[in-house]
Amino acid sequence: MILLPKLRQCRRCPRIVAYIEQLPAKKGYDRSDYHNAPVAGFGDSAARVWLLGLAPGAHGANRSGRPFTGDGAGDFMYPLLYQAGFSNQPQASHSDDGLCLYDLYISNAVKCVPPGNKPTAEEFANCLAFMEQEWRCLKQVRVIIALGRDAFMSALRMLRRNGLVNRLADYPFGHDVCYPLPNGQWLLGSYHTSRYNVQTGRIDAESFMQVLQHAQRLRENG
């Protein structure tokens, strides 16, 4: 776990804060069951692989308080992370379910749930400093897996701000695309593991496993 001291109290994005304040609980739950606040990353702070999503799901991470926990994207992803050796168990049901990540850290580019799961450009920019703090703390990271184009672009903007990339257009997004960075890290793209992408066949277990195995090869050999 990486501590971001100012994260929990952050209310920098008025549109997002207003959205969370009125977000109804899903059937069978009460709003008091919900985290309803910025969601910190979790996992191994000495990880060599960092998996970066877009933002908490309204009734997944925003409810459970842990990235990809309690929604369709996580239900798809966590068993495959386990299969690839990145965790101690395939299930991720709630924030104290005993899940441990091995050599992996998971967080989101935007730490709060945005309306329609679409942060604005300003909200991405507001939250960039938190992602950057994580990146600086993750000193062993060799591979950044960005899930989906938006997280990928957000990672690129952070890297550009730190002088590691110049033109964003030189780094087109795609599934399993991979770019070396001048600091020895790698940026790896993956289609997002959203329920929609799984249902439409844009991503499946085999193609996501391909990305995970690619990350494992890169972390070992570069």
Residues near ligand SF4 (CB under 6 A): 7, 10-13, 16, 38, 110-112, 123, 126-127, 130
Compute the least distance from the CB of residue 95 to ligand SF4, in Å.
18
User: Which residues lie closer than 8 Å to 189 by C-beta, 6 or more apart?
Assistant: 145, 146, 149, 152, 173, 174, 175, 176, 177, 178
Compute the least distance from the CB of residue 210 to ligand SF4, in Å.
31
How far are the Cα atoms of 23, 73, 83, 179, 198 from residue 41, in angstroms, in the given order? 22, 16, 21, 24, 23
The first and second tokens of residue 163, run together, are 């002088």
How far are the Cα atoms of 16, 112, 135, 145, 147 from residue 211, in angstroms, in the given order? 31, 26, 20, 8, 10
Which amino acid appears at position 201 of this protein? G
Please say whether the beta carbons of 53 and 109 come within 8 A: yes
Compute the least distance from the CB of residue 15 to ligand SF4, in Å.
9
Q: 76 vs 130, which CB is nearer to ligand SF4? A: 130
Q: 38 vs 188, which CB is nearer to ligand SF4? A: 38
Q: 57 vs 185, which CB is nearer to ligand SF4? A: 57
Cα gap 130→109, rounded to integer Å:
8
Compute the least distance from the CB of residue 119 to ligand SF4, in Å.
7
Q: 38 vs 171, which CB is nearer to ligand SF4? A: 38
Which amino acid appears at position 141 of this protein? V
Q: 103 vs 123, which CB is nearer to ligand SF4? A: 123
Compute the least distance from the CB of residue 59 to ligand SF4, in Å.
17
Q: 13 vs 215, which CB is nearer to ligand SF4? A: 13
Closest CA to 185 of 209, 147, 156: 156
Cα gap 164→161, rounded to integer Å:
8
Cα gap 34→217, rounded to integer Å:
38
Compute the least distance from the CB of residue 124 to ligand SF4, in Å.
9
